[in-house]
Structure 1
Amino acid sequence: MAGLRLRRQIGQGTQSTVFLAEPVAGGPAVVLKLVSLAGADERARQAFLAGADTARRLVHPGIVAVLGAGVEGELGWLAMEAVPGISLGRYTHPARLLPEPLVLHVAEVVAGALEHAHRQGVVHRDVKPANILVHWPSDTIKLADFGLARAVDADQTATGVVPGSPAFMAPEQLAGSVPTPASDFYALGVTLFQLLTGRLPHEAETLGDLLRRVSSQPAPDLRTWRPDLPAPLAGLVAGLLAIDPACRPAGGPTLRQALQQALHPAQGADSGAKSR
């Protein structure tokens, strides 16, 4: 954190606090995330640094850039580019939903960011509306918080807590398996479901109940709450929320193509007609 001056707190999580900061020597403001490593062993600290280093190598217009990281005492810190705007967490209430085309546009950008990360062997592990930052006037859409889950993963054995946001986790991730790209696609499916309906596909009072539901019950059809949504879009989200990881989209290009078809169904029909 040397060389940075805190300006104000802009966020708070269960294990982290987020500040807007500025370089003492001058320059653009940055976002500084402080992550508690209290009780963490050396392996956890090294995992935090390794995750941050991996995230720093992800250079993509749809990914928040990581500028630096370190560990000081019982705090890990991560400096990131300051993205103007807000998180999509603001649009998860039934009374504040975004238009369907805008949701699909956001999903297409996020899918491209995930495709870039997955090609480099990086899994996000915590895709959710709160980790998607948007600035509508400039059409800026960025996925944040790559790499931070690694530090918590190293602590999982000691705490017994599954890292991430359970409501957005795939069944295999909730069960404790190592997350894969398919796990990220599932989380994107939950994100789309919530942004389009203002609800989560599965809700439960305990982690055990949630695991049982997502592992045995297919997600409800989007049109249960939004009968106005087209069938191709409902099918796309259902595919992302498949219980079996092998039944989810095979990769970023496949997903982005499906999003394009859902966003422009007439174009998809026209191209299909031309090919016949």
Structure 2
Amino acid sequence: MSFRLVVCVKYVPDATADRRFAQDTTTDRESVDGLLSELDEHAVEQALRLAEAIGDAEVTALTLGPDGAETALRKALAMGVDKAVHVQDDAVHGTDVMGTSAIVARALELTGYDLVVCGMASTDGAMGVLPALLAERLGVPQLTLLSEVGVEDGVVRGRRDGDAATEDLRAPLPAVVSVTDRSGEARYPSFKGVVAARKKPVRRLDLADLGIEPGTVGLRGAWTVVDHIAARPQRRAGAVVEDDGEGAGAGQLAAFLAAGAFI
């Protein structure tokens, strides 16, 4: 049997767009374009590199999201991923990270895996805890925030680069890993890859397929509740300091810096 690599990816609102919340306090994903999370592109790249190094390996992209989330899957497929799994159900709307981890973990159990590869965080939620939650739910080891990852003789190894130290980590397979943006640039999909992606299989699952009760996820099952949203205040115009050529401007600037305890 081929070595089974599963890379978890997320469809997120474009960070350059004017993002906002919907009336139900969830992220408004309808009024802005979505795309594959940039941090997850590094996870896809590392999964593909591992598959190339192993040789006899298959890479599956897994996502949870609405119709548009297939856009993220198609990009992963165009990069070189072999097949994809799309978990989609209206009852998932508003699911927090706890519900997301339960759904994704069940999907992983159903599809099968030897190694799960995740990005370090999503660019919309930015929590960074999903890999750890998945490992806990699956009952497997986790190696997180890796700059380098490899597999050999039933063991996954990784290097974690911190501000003050570098750690070399190892764990038996199966396992969950997450990689940072230090792990290397993600490849661009080639024209041939984009064309091939259209023919690659995408398996669709809903909560019933996973055996998950709708009331345990979504807004009703969320562990956290957003009870108030306020728009960020408009940026105020800065003070203009004019100099008359005799040092008045310098005095005003010095007074401003002193008032702010900068000098």
Which structure carries more helix by proportion?
1
- For Structure 1 versus Structure 2, the TM-score category normalised by the shorter chain is under 0.3
TM-score by length of 1: 0.24
Which structure carries more strand by proportion?
2
